Structure 1
Amino acid sequence: MSELDLPEFDRAQLHAIRVLRGDGAVVVTNPSPMTYGVVARDPRAINLLKGRPADQPVAVSVHSQAAHDQLFRYLDLRTDALAAVDFALAEHMSVLAPIRSDPTMPEWLSPAIQDGWVRFFDGAWGPLASLWLTFPFLYGSSANRTGEAAPASAVEAREQFPPGTVVIDADDRRTPSDVYGASTTIRVDPSGRISVHRSGIQDQVAGGADVLLERLREFRSRIHGLDGSAPSPMGHSYLSTAVTENGEPKQLVPKTRIRVEFARTPNQNPDGPRVYDVLRVHAGCNRIGTAVAAGELLTDGTLGIKGFGGTQVGCEPPLRTQEEWLKTFLMSRPSWQVDGDELTLTSGGTTITLLDKKIAEPDLPLDGIRWKVGTTITNADLRHHRSNTEPAWIRIDGEHLTGWTGCNELTASVTRNNTQLTFTGVTITDHTCTGETAEVQSEILATLGTAVTYDIDHNKLTLLAPSGIGLDLKAD
């Protein structure tokens, strides 16, 4: 099916994605009763469209799990306050929160930071999923020219902005409302105190700022009570170091370890709890997990799990048996205890001892490693595994990059800024590539053609551009 055969609304999203990838700004619909917003990969495009200084700080949407988790590592807040922030994000509020100064902070956060505070939101909305899922993050603001009211419809947006401005009209997908408004911005202090920084539609609909704040404070207090004061595994990943049954060592399938990850995330859907606690598990075959209302996963020192979902890979019998054993154990309400970097899970006569992943599998350095391309990323969440091509790789040594695209040698210069890499002088030899190898070379060159954020997870390297394209690589 060609693009011309798609419904008009889908074509509008594809056009908007192209505009965003070209560093333009796009006016987007928000769910009722919110007014329209403007988003861009380049914050200057937003300020230009709104008629204000190009370097004025803007908010950043952390709608992807990767962007959300990266930001939350640097917020100077307690876990109960972070849960309240997730609640606000799920309700489409904007948040102003303190952020720690750290040289490892990703560069993409900088346009949203001013005087030690960062402004952010979660802009994802179901009808515009194609657009939001394409980009790991986007900068955003209310879609109004300076001094004008934010538009409540596509017609009002087109009247306010210059001809040619891309406006995605999704009014027919919104619930009509008697009143519209821009989002409320809440401020969360390092102490956990929550206040309304800018009044908006959420506090108006709630019946006033005091009513809205009471909801947030009640949620924060409930999470504080459920989480307790003991060290928690929330926000950490662990790998098993020992398993015993009735005091005797239990051997896992060779070359496997139990991996568990605990995360807290806002619910981007209108139904269900506003914030989820998530457990992700891997024991050598399928990736399984569960999500429950925030605060209910680790209640009273036990794991509260009723069931699992996950991939459906056909495991070898020993791996399938091990996976079923682990699922049964985790659903038996095992007790948990954190002691420094160690997590212990116990149920009946079975004990699983795990070590924080950052200790058990420390990250490799960026330099001096031959990183083999395993996956190309065409948008932030869509990955294409490349197992049927000539192996491609890159290696970074200081200011120099060398590599192999699968059919051509590759060289470039590298500059660094925190977790951002910029490649210049990218050159390749002149051999003709064919088939999937040509596709991989094209993706490599596209990724290296712009500044990218890099993230190392033990022996895995991800290069991701703001446009949503990138590479997953593994130490060779």
Structure 2
Amino acid sequence: MQKQHLTTVAAVAALLALTACGTESGSGAGDGGSSVATDLPVTGVHWSVKSVTVDGKRTAAPAGAHVRIDDKGGAKGNYGCNQFTAKASVEGETVTVSGGAMTEMACPEPVQGFENVLRSAFQGELKGTLSDGTLTLTTAGGDKVTLTEQPPAPLAGTEWKVDSLTSGETATSLPSGTEGKAHFVFAKDGTVRGSLGCNSFTSTTTTDGSTITFGRVATTRRLCPGPEMDLERALLKAMAGKVRYTIEHRTLTLTAPNGSGFAAEAADVSAK
């Protein structure tokens, strides 16, 4: 009985040793072991779209085009003019994008053309490669979406470029011909200066929690075409007195008490 017991113990010990050997860290396919595939670390990151390459033709992205994939099966971002949401999952090196919805702002060319190209390429199963902060998503047909990681943007010191007007939860495109003209920077000393789309402006601000209070806004006195004046008036209304502001990573939204306002995108730091 004692001999049989010792034999059983020895057999169990040998089995445990064999199991441990088979799962030892560092073992791989070459020695009979298996490695666990890890997902690309792309979720929770603000990815600025740099370009889309279709049929060998590369098209640079407009400012503001971006993608953010979360770890709950969703993605959202901006195609360059319109905002979008979609379903998205990451498994190993494959990013799968499907379905979704988008806003319906009228976009000028060539932005509209870029949006169409990006929407087509950013769908289905995409093979992802990540190198030095650059993410490349490749379709089965060989088309590529190239993105770069962008850090969150602080309120002060960031160049904010106005890209839409807002009313409640609704965003509308800027007046035709004014795209990319309005921009501003909040300084750490509380001043703000920039362009309303035609005239330059400067003002003082006080920030308290989620509100900004603007002082008197001083502007130059240039005569501007109709659309530029429409944009200027809309921005001045949104900068009158105490307004609410939110920053979602690299998007700043200012909202006046009556619900009107505008959204602005942080300038691409990699372009400087």
TM value normalised by structure 2: 0.51
Deviation at 1:306?
4.8
Deviation at 1:427?
5.9
Q: Judging by fraction of residues, say which structure has more strand.
A: 2
Residue equivalent to 1:413: 204
Deviation readout 1:146-178 (Å, 9 max, x if unpaired)? xxxxxxxxxxxxxxxxxxxxxxxxxxxxxxxxx
Residue equivalent to 2:121: 326
Deviation at 1:358?
0.8
2:163 is equivalent to residue 378 of structure 1: no
Instruction: Mark the structure with the bigger radius of gyration.
Output: 2
2:85 is equivalent to residue 277 of structure 1: no
Structure 1: distance between partners of 2:225 and 2:116: 43
TM value normalised by structure 1: 0.33
Give aligned pairs, total.
Answer: 222
Residue equivalent to 1:445: 237
Which consecutive unaligned segments of at least 5 residues does structure 2 have? 1-36, 268-272
SS of corresponding position for 1:357 = strand
CA contact under 8 A between 2:51 and 2:61: conserved in structure 1?
Answer: no
Structure 2: distance between partners of 1:322 and 1:281: 13
SS of corresponding position for 1:377 = strand
- C-alpha change, 1:407 and 1:469, in structure 2 (3 Å) is same
Residue equivalent to 2:69: 262
Output aligned runs, 1:263-342, within 5 Å: 263=70, 277-278=74-75, 282=79, 291-292=86-87, 297-299=89-91, 301-307=93-99, 310=102, 322-323=117-118, 326=121, 330-331=123-124, 333-336=125-128, 341-342=133-134
Deviation at 1:263?
3.8
CA contact under 8 A between 1:252 and 1:322: conserved in structure 2?
Answer: no
CA contact under 8 A between 2:86 and 2:98: conserved in structure 1?
Answer: no
Percentage of matched positions with identical amino acids: 20
Deviation at 1:423?
1.8
Paired residue type of 1:377: T
Paired residue type of 2:69: F
Paired residue type of 1:256: A
- C-alpha change, 1:230 and 1:383, in structure 2 (3 Å) is same
Structure 1: distance between partners of 2:225 and 2:145: 49
2:43 is equivalent to residue 234 of structure 1: yes
SS of corresponding position for 2:58 = coil
Deviation at 1:335?
3.9
Structure 1: distance between partners of 2:177 and 2:145: 38
CA contact under 8 A between 2:134 and 2:149: conserved in structure 1?
Answer: no
Structure 2: distance between partners of 1:347 and 1:446: 42
CA contact under 8 A between 1:406 and 1:441: conserved in structure 2?
Answer: no
CA contact under 8 A between 1:414 and 1:424: conserved in structure 2?
Answer: yes
Structure 1: distance between partners of 2:200 and 2:158: 17
2:195 is equivalent to residue 400 of structure 1: no
Structure 2: distance between partners of 1:314 and 1:432: 24
Residue equivalent to 1:252: 58
Paired residue type of 1:381: T
Structure 2: distance between partners of 1:281 and 1:372: 14
Root-mean-square deviation (Å): 5.5
Structure 2: distance between partners of 1:463 and 1:423: 11
Q: Judging by fraction of residues, say which structure has more helix.
A: 1
Paired residue type of 1:416: T
